[in-house]
Chain A
Amino acid sequence: MPEINWTALVIFVLLFGLITWLGFAAARWRKGDLDLLHEWGLGGRRFGTVVTWFLVGGDVYTAYTFVAVPALAFGAGAVAFFAVPYTILIYPLLFLVFPRLWNVCHKHGYITAADFVRGRFGNRWLALAVTITGIVATLPYIALQLVGIQVVVGALGVTGNGLAADLPLVIAFGVLAAFTYSSGLRAPASIAIVKDILIYIATFAIIIVVPLKLGGFGKIFAAVPAGKVLLAVPGDHTTGAYSAYATLALGSALALFLYPHSMTAILSANSGHAIRRNAAILPGYSFMLGLLAMIGLFVIAAGIADMPAYAHGFKQYGSNFAVPALVLHIFPSWFVGVVFAAIAIGALVPAAIMSIAVANLYTRNIHREFINPNPTDKQEAQMAKWVSMVAKLGALIFILFVPTKFAIELQLLGGIWIIQTLPAVMLGAYTRWFNDWALLCGWAAGTIAGTLMAVASKLTPTFALTLGGHTFPGYSALYTVVLNLVIAAVLTPLLNGMRSGRAPIDATAPADYLAE
C-alpha cells in the first residue's frame, strides 16, 4: 500500500482551498442578477475574448482528457495522437458556424441548442430529441471527470476502506455543487483561469524535464516499441488504421461543439467576434494536448510501469495511472501537489459547466416546454440551480456505485448520440431547407444505427464497415451521421409534399444570423 505523500497533499489542499474561495467570490464578478437564468447559466453573455478562451479551454481540455489521452498513448501508441488532428479540425468549425448561432441566439434570447431548434423549425418534438440527446450524452461525461479526481487522490496515497475511501471525492463534489449553485457560470469561468495556468506549468515542466532525464527525444522514441511509434500501415483491401485515425478525428471534431457544455461556453461570449478570435487563439491548447499525448510514450520509455512502487496504482487505475506515476517518479513532492491539484481542478471546471448546461436544457426545453409554460424569471433560475445539483449528485452516485468501465462506455455512446443533432443544429444555422419531421427521422435512424454499430464493435469507437470486399474501419459516429443526413435529405421533399400548402414555421429571419 502506498503511503500518504504529506507535502504534496498539503499543497493540493491549499490550492483546492484557493479555488473554492474563488468559486464563491465569482458571484460578485461582473455582477448580474443571479435570479435570471441567462445571468446564472450564461454569465450574462458578458465574457470577452480572453475569458471565453479560458472557458472553452476548460470545457474541451478536461481532467479526463489530461489523464485519458496520455493513457491511450501509453496503452495503444500513435493512434492516441488523433487528438491533435481533432483539435485542428474543431476551430474552423467554430469559426464558421458558431458566430452565426451566437447571433441568432443573442437576438432571440436562446440559451441552449434546443431553444434554437425549437425556434428555427417550430417542432417541439425535434427540440425534445435535441434536449434529451444533450442531457444523456453529458451525464456520463460529468461522471468521467470524477475519475480524474479519483486517480490523483489515490496517487497522493489517500486510501481507505468503504465510505472513507470515497470521502475526498464526496468533499470535492460538495464544494463544486455549492459554488455552482451560488455563482452559476461565473464560478467555472474564474476557476478556469487558475486551472489553465497550473496545467500549462505542469505540461511544460514534464515536456522539458523528462527528455532531459531520459537523454533526449531520440532516446525516448528509440525505447518505445516500433509498433507504437507510428500508425500500422494498412494491409490489402482495408484502409486500416489510417481511416480509423482520420474518422476519429473528424467525427470527434463534429461532435464537440454540439455538446451542451460547449454550447454554454460559446453562448456566454459577448460577441460573435469574440468567438472568431477564439478560433485563432484556442489552438494554444491543441499544441499542449499534443505534448500531453507524447507524455504517454514517455511513460513507456521511462519503464515506470514495471517499477514496484507504482504497481499498486496501475493495478487499481489501469493505464489512467500513467501520468500520475510519471509525475510521482520525476518531480519533488511539492510540485506533485501542484500538478495533481491542476488535474483535480481541471475536473471541476468542466463538471460545473456541464451541470449548468444540463440544467439550462431541462429548465428551458423540458420544464418550460412541457410542464410549466409560464414560469417567473426567478422560478426558472431557481429550477436550473436545483437541476444542476441533481445532475452532479447523479454523476457522483454513478461513479461511486457503478464500475468506471460503464462510464467510459456510456461516454463513448454519448459521442455517437450527440453527433446526430448536427443536421438540426449546425446545418440549421445555415438553412431551413430540411423538413423538421425528416430531421427527426434522420436523428432516430442515426441514433439506433450508431448504438448497434457500437455494440457490434464491442463498445469500441471504430466499426469495420465492409463494402464490396473492402474494409473501412472508422468512427461509428461519423458513419451514422452520414446515414442520418441521407435520410433527412431523402425524406424532406416527400414530407414537404404531404404538408402541401402550409409554409414551414421559422421564428428566425436571415438577418438574425449576421452580426449587427
Chain B
Amino acid sequence: MKDAQKKEKASWWYLLFVLQFLVILWPPFYNKMTPALIGLPFFYWFQLLWVIVSAVFTAVVYWATRG
C-alpha cells in the first residue's frame, strides 16, 4: 500500500470530484422553478448543465493526472 501511494500520489485536482458530488447531492440548492431557461424550470436545466460540467471536470482531471 505504501509503495502504491508513492507512485500514484493524490492530486489536488481530485477536489473537482468532491465539488461535483457536494453540489448535486444537496437538492435544496436546485429544487426551484426559477430562473427558467427556454421554459425549463431551474431544477431540470441546472442538473442537465451539471452533467456537462461534470464531464468537463472529469476530462480536466484526466489530463491533469496523466503520466
Residues of A within 8 A of B (CB): 78, 81, 84-85, 87-89, 91-92, 95-96, 211, 216-221, 229-231, 233, 241-242, 245-246, 249-250, 276-277, 279-281, 283-284, 286-287, 290-291, 294, 430-432, 510-511, 513-514
Closest Cβ–Cβ distance, residue A157 to chain B (whole Å) = 34
Closest Cβ–Cβ distance, residue B65 to chain A (whole Å) = 9
Task: Please state if B28 and A242 are interface contacts (CB–CB under 8 Å).
Answer: yes
Q: List 19 A-B contacts (CB under 8 A).
A: A84-B48, A85-B25, A85-B47, A88-B24, A88-B51, A92-B20, A92-B54, A219-B39, A230-B43, A231-B43, A241-B27, A250-B25, A279-B58, A279-B62, A280-B58, A286-B51, A432-B1, A510-B3, A514-B4
Task: Please state if A230 and B4 are interface contacts (CB–CB under 8 Å).
Answer: no
Residues of B within 8 A of A (CB): 1-4, 7-8, 14, 17, 20-21, 24-28, 31-33, 36, 38-41, 43-44, 47-48, 50-52, 54-55, 58-59, 61-62
Task: Please state if B51 and A283 are interface contacts (CB–CB under 8 Å).
Answer: yes
Supplied contacts A95-B58, A294-B44, 12 more A-B pairs, CB within 8 Å: A84-B50, A84-B51, A87-B51, A229-B43, A242-B31, A246-B26, A279-B58, A280-B58, A283-B58, A287-B51, A287-B52, A290-B47
How many angstroms between the C-alpha atoms of A229 and B54 in the bound complex?
A: 24
Task: Please state if B41 and A229 are interface contacts (CB–CB under 8 Å).
Answer: yes
Closest Cβ–Cβ distance, residue B56 to chain A (whole Å) = 8
Task: Please state if A245 and B39 are interface contacts (CB–CB under 8 Å).
Answer: no
Task: Please state if A92 and B21 are interface contacts (CB–CB under 8 Å).
Answer: yes
How many angstroms between the C-alpha atoms of A239 and B54 in the bound complex?
A: 26
Closest Cβ–Cβ distance, residue A420 to chain B (whole Å) = 22
How many angstroms between the C-alpha atoms of A229 and B59 in the bound complex?
A: 32
Report whether over half of chain A's contact residues are helix, strand or loop; otherwise say mixed: helix
User: What 9 A-B pairs come out closest when comparing CB atoms?
Assistant: A217-B39, A218-B39, A283-B55, A280-B59, A92-B17, A510-B4, A280-B58, A85-B24, A510-B3
- Please name all residues of chain B whose beta carbon is closer than 8 Å to the beta carbon of A91 when the two chains form the complex: 54-55, 58
Task: Please state if A84 and B54 are interface contacts (CB–CB under 8 Å).
Answer: no
Q: A218-B36, A514-B4 are in contact. Are A281 and B27 (CB under 8 A)?
A: no
- Please name all residues of chain A whose beta carbon is closer than 8 Å to the beta carbon of B14 when the two chains form the complex: 96
How many angstroms between the C-alpha atoms of A313 and B27 in the bound complex?
A: 35
- Please name all residues of chain A whose beta carbon is closer than 8 Å to the beta carbon of B36 when the two chains form the complex: 218
Task: Please state if B39 and A230 are interface contacts (CB–CB under 8 Å).
Answer: no
How many angstroms between the C-alpha atoms of A341 and B57 in the bound complex?
A: 35
Task: Please state if A92 and B27 are interface contacts (CB–CB under 8 Å).
Answer: no
- Please name all residues of chain A whose beta carbon is closer than 8 Å to the beta carbon of B24 when the two chains form the complex: 85, 88-89, 249
| Chain A, Cβ-Cβ closest to B38 | A217
| Chain A, Cβ-Cβ closest to B48 | A290
Task: Please state if B32 and A276 are interface contacts (CB–CB under 8 Å).
Answer: no
Report whether over half of chain B's contact residues are helix, strand or loop; otherwise say mixed: helix
Selected from A220, A230, A283, the residue in CB contact (under 8 A) with B31 is: A230
- Please name all residues of chain A whose beta carbon is closer than 8 Å to the beta carbon of B41 when the two chains form the complex: 221, 229-230
- Please name all residues of chain B whose beta carbon is closer than 8 Å to the beta carbon of A96 when the two chains form the complex: 14, 17
Selected from A78, A92, A280, A287, the residue in CB contact (under 8 A) with B48 is: A287
Task: Please state if A89 and B21 are interface contacts (CB–CB under 8 Å).
Answer: yes
- Please name all residues of chain A whose beta carbon is closer than 8 Å to the beta carbon of B25 when the two chains form the complex: 85, 89, 246, 249-250
How many angstroms between the C-alpha atoms of A193 and B44 in the bound complex?
A: 28
- Please name all residues of chain A whose beta carbon is closer than 8 Å to the beta carbon of B52 when the two chains form the complex: 283, 287
How many angstroms between the C-alpha atoms of A242 and B24 in the bound complex?
A: 11
How many angstroms between the C-alpha atoms of A511 and B5 in the bound complex?
A: 10
How many angstroms between the C-alpha atoms of A431 and B2 in the bound complex?
A: 10
| Chain B, Cβ-Cβ closest to A276 | B62
- Please name all residues of chain B whose beta carbon is closer than 8 Å to the beta carbon of A221 when the two chains form the complex: 39-41
- Please name all residues of chain A whose beta carbon is closer than 8 Å to the beta carbon of B48 when the two chains form the complex: 84, 287, 290-291
How many angstroms between the C-alpha atoms of A514 and B24 in the bound complex?
A: 30
Task: Please state if B54 and A88 are interface contacts (CB–CB under 8 Å).
Answer: yes
Task: Please state if A280 and B55 are interface contacts (CB–CB under 8 Å).
Answer: yes
How many angstroms between the C-alpha atoms of A250 and B21 in the bound complex?
A: 9
How many angstroms between the C-alpha atoms of A218 and B36 in the bound complex?
A: 9
How many angstroms between the C-alpha atoms of A514 and B47 in the bound complex?
A: 34
Task: Please state if A217 and B40 are interface contacts (CB–CB under 8 Å).
Answer: yes
How many angstroms between the C-alpha atoms of A219 and B38 in the bound complex?
A: 11
| Chain B, Cβ-Cβ closest to A219 | B39
How many angstroms between the C-alpha atoms of A284 and B58 in the bound complex?
A: 13
- Please name all residues of chain B whose beta carbon is closer than 8 Å to the beta carbon of A246 when the two chains form the complex: 25-27
Closest Cβ–Cβ distance, residue A79 to chain B (whole Å) = 10
Q: A89-B24, A246-B26 are in contact. Are A216 and B39 (CB under 8 A)?
A: yes
Task: Please state if A231 and B58 are interface contacts (CB–CB under 8 Å).
Answer: no
Task: Please state if A280 and B51 are interface contacts (CB–CB under 8 Å).
Answer: no
Q: Determine which residue in B8, B17, B51 has the highest number of CB atoms from chain A within 10 A of its CB, and name it.
A: B51
- Please name all residues of chain B whose beta carbon is closer than 8 Å to the beta carbon of A249 when the two chains form the complex: 24-25
Closest Cβ–Cβ distance, residue B63 to chain A (whole Å) = 9
How many angstroms between the C-alpha atoms of A383 and B59 in the bound complex?
A: 41
